[in-house]
Structure 1
Amino acid sequence: MILITIALAIVTFIGFGLYKASDLQSIQIVKTVTIKGSKQEVFDMVKYLNNFPKWSPFLAEDPTQKHEVKGTDGTVGAQYHWDGNAGKDLGFQEIVKIDEQNFIGMQCDIQKPFVAKPTFDYYFAETANGIEVKQDFKVQSALPDAFFMWLFSAKAGMEKMNEQGLNLLKKSVENNK
């Protein structure tokens, strides 16, 4: 009887987890920040990948992370490679589209600690309060990966990390004055 109860509890947990995970197969996180600075200054802070260490939330979490820019910085095809957490984090992000002072599209290729290919799209707009930067993050996952993201509340962590990155971007531009 005890084994049947345990088995039913496990099946129920896995069933519920797969149901919840189905919502995490496609994640989109949109965050915005308003920055006091010129549109060119804000745009260049994102466009030039050599600036990324100034506002990277990942580097803030792991200051020993190694990184390098490959290709011509600030152009389509430029890549920011990282290797952190003693080899446990590995990947790169690549600029795939630029609309000068309006939009930057980036594709990531994460190899460790999991395999994923999220995108980061950045939109820039002038407002009365400064330059609004909107970050649109998207990632697709298979159901097993989404189950583990549900299990470990990964979406909440992603939201926190994206918000931290935009706050560091704001701080980096505004403290540069």
Structure 2
Amino acid sequence: MIKTIAFVVLAALALLLAYAATRPDTFRVERSRVIEAPPERVFGLVQDLRRFNTWNPYERKDPGAKGEYSTATAGPGARYAWQGDKVGTGSMEITEATAPAHVGMKLDFVAPFEAHNRVDFTLEPDGGGKATRVTWAMHGPVPYLAKLMHLFFNMDHMVGKDFEDGLGFLAAEAAK
């Protein structure tokens, strides 16, 4: 009886591990929102990391986190690194900024797990240029261990909720 149970458990574990190996090698999380402000105003709140952190949902999740800015805080080359109990340890760097339409960032996490992702903000005029459709997307590789974790945790749901909150905070900041 014990051998049968052990065999069933091992077989189930083997199937789970094999299934995880078939999962996609990349992920993408994306959310959009129309913000009642012109693209130029919204662009300024995204491409300047000090202004970015006024609405960044992760800064609000861990107000005790310690952060450090590079000398340049806006545009390509601007960098921000953080360390916190709730948001872990990592850094982001603006890699491209095309006013007022796009900001690209490199996002690196060190803890609680290592990850290297890309973040893109796309800004499109809406409502005759008086509003902006902002799309916040993050994508990157999914190594095998992450594939196993994704079987139990829905990345789109977890990160997507933060992006939705962040876009709401961005809309409030742009309205000031």
TM-score (norm: length of structure 1):
0.88
Unaligned runs of 5+ in 1: none
Deviation at 1:6, TM superposition (A): 3.8
Deviation at 1:81, TM superposition (A): 1.0
Q: Does 1:168 align with 2:135?
A: no
Instruction: State the alpha-carbon separation in 1 of the partners of residues 59 and 17 from structure 2.
Output: 32
Q: Does 1:137 align with 2:158?
A: no
Deviation at 1:173, TM superposition (A): 1.4
Instruction: State the alpha-carbon separation in 1 of the partners of residues 40 and 31 from structure 2.
Output: 20
Instruction: State the alpha-carbon separation in 2 of the partners of residues 83 and 135 from structure 1.
Output: 23
Q: Are residues 17 and 32 of structure 1, via their aligned partners in 2, closer, same or farther at CA, if it must alter by over 3 Å?
A: farther
Map 1:93-104 onto structure 2 (within 5 A): 93-104=92-103
Q: Which has the higher helix share?
A: 1
| Code of the aligned partner of 1:76 | P
Q: Are residues 57 and 21 of structure 1, via their aligned partners in 2, closer, same or farther at CA, if it must alter by over 3 Å?
A: farther
Q: Is the Cα–Cα contact under 8 Å of residues 59 and 65 in structure 1 kept in the other structure?
A: yes
Q: Which SS does the other structure have where 2:37 is aligned?
A: coil
Deviation at 1:90, TM superposition (A): 0.7
Q: Which SS does the other structure have where 1:54 is aligned?
A: coil
- Partner of residue 90, structure 2: 91
Moved more, 144-153 or 102-111: 144-153
Identity over aligned residues, as a percent? Answer: 22
| Code of the aligned partner of 1:100 | A
Unaligned runs of 5+ in 2: none
TM-score (norm: length of structure 2):
0.88
| Code of the aligned partner of 2:88 | D
Q: In the comparison of the two structures, how many residue pairs are matched? A: 174
Instruction: State the alpha-carbon separation in 1 of the partners of residues 163 and 17 from structure 2.
Output: 25
CA displacement, residues 46-87 of structure 1 (integer Å, 9 cap, x when unaligned): 00000122111112211111112213121211101111117x
Q: Which SS does the other structure have where 1:105 is aligned?
A: strand
Instruction: State the alpha-carbon separation in 1 of the partners of residues 162 and 116 from structure 2.
Output: 17
Deviation at 1:20, TM superposition (A): 4.7
Instruction: State the alpha-carbon separation in 2 of the partners of residues 18 and 123 from structure 1.
Output: 37
Map 1:29-48 onto structure 2 (within 5 A): 29-48=29-48
